[in-house]
Amino acid sequence: MSEKITIYDIAKKLNITAATVSRALNNNPRISDTTRKLVMETAASMGYTQNKLALALKSGKSNLVGVIVPYIDTSFFASIIRGIEEALHPEGYNVIICQTHETEAKEIETVNTLLNAQVDGILMSLSKTSKETTHFEHILNKKIPLVFFDRRKNIKGVSSVTIDDFEGGYVATKHLIEQGCKTIAHLSGDWSLEIYKNRSEGYKQALLDHGLKYDEKYLLHVKSDTEAGKSAVDTLMKLDKKPDAIFSSSDFVALGAIQRLQELGIKLPDDFCVVGFSNEPFTQLMELSISSVDQAPHEMGRMAAKVFLDQVSGVGKVKIEQKVELTPHLISRKSSVKPVAKKKAK
């Protein structure tokens, strides 16, 4: 076995021309069955594999799609990428993975790298600090499809797949109200990210729709880890009127909050309810399983891929700007379902 077999090698062996080999391999109708068969067989026996690079260079289509995420090893983004890969692989696309580490500098660098690699499309989720837009215009100038998922920026001509974060915040809060909670605190993230802001607005609207007051004292902006959840509880418990529930925009924060609440001897869900966001794998594994809003990341990934495929296969190459918004679903678990309310719900 040799190293690199090209159609020329197999042409030479058969005393025919490379063009004929190419035709045989591509099931071109204008070729005799005997030749086709002969070519196929010798190609197989010589271990020929098509060089997609050459094909890509010629056709201008690399069948490569770039996916950019902050980190690949968070369950949310990993699931999205899985969805993307599974939707794109059957269509003959390969997926290139890039991480921004939540920095704009890496985001820009990465976009350029992918552009160099001649990807046929870029699917990405914004990094937290992203402010610039020139690198996006760069993409659009090259006429290659750009699809945002989860964290988006409103750019004309750019499609996006997100969940309805407002709705997510709304149903989570509504659920807590239905459990009989009267003073619902909210732990949010940095509002420079639309997703957090939208969840907060859903929270606010749910309160108002159900005759509860919206008081900014009960809204805290925190980091997305368990420690932040713990200190948030400490802060909240110093208020004159203590809350009896928390809607957190992060499961990790929710977990930290629950741990501190339990340390303080507060009984969940009887005296206090907590709902998180993202449906992280651990939420259902806990002894006191944590209610959470599921974002269907796998579905989001598949949808982002589909939006991309629609763009490239679009009739007349009409660039349709699709804004897909998936509906989040509340998963009720022990941390927020009171025994009483359980009966009431039936």
d(Cα 22, Cα 39) in Å, to the nearest integer? 9
The structure tokens listed for 272 are 């206090």
Single-letter residue type at 26: N
Single-letter residue type at 248: S
Q: How many CB atoms are closer than 10 A to CB 320? A: 10
Shortest gap between Cβ of 39 and a copy of itself (angstroms)? 18
User: Helix (H) and strand (E) counts for the chain?
Assistant: 13, 12
Distances (CA, A) of 89 to 44, 63, 82, 313: 24, 10, 10, 16
Phi, psi of 115 (to 5 degrees): -60, -45
d(Cα 244, Cα 229) in Å, to the nearest integer? 15
Stretch 228-257: interaction string toward a copy of itself, x if CB under 8 A: ---------------------------x--
* Closer residue to a copy of itself, CB minimum distance, 268 or 341: 268
Instruction: Answer yes or no: are the C-beta atoms of 176 and 203 closer than 8 Å.
Output: no
Contacts (CB under 8 A) with a copy of itself, residues 257-296: 259, 262, 281-282, 285-288
Query: Does the footprint of a copy of itself cover residue 99 (CB under 8 A)?
Result: yes
The residues binding DNA (CB under 7 A) are 4, 6-8, 15-20, 22-23, 25-26, 28, 30-32, 34-35, 48-51, 54-55, 57-60
Shortest gap between Cβ of 82 and a copy of itself (angstroms)? 4
Q: Which of 7, 95, 207, 337 binds a copy of itself (CB under 8 A)?
A: 95
Query: Does the footprint of a copy of itself cover residue 27 (CB under 8 A)?
Result: no
Radius of gyration of the chain (CA): 26
Contacts (CB under 8 A) with a copy of itself, residues 123-152: 138, 141-143
Where on the chain is the footprint of a copy of itself (CB under 8 A)? 1-4, 47, 49-54, 56-57, 60, 62, 64, 71-75, 78-79, 81-82, 85-86, 89, 94-99, 112-118, 138, 141-143, 226, 255, 259, 262, 281-282, 285-288, 298
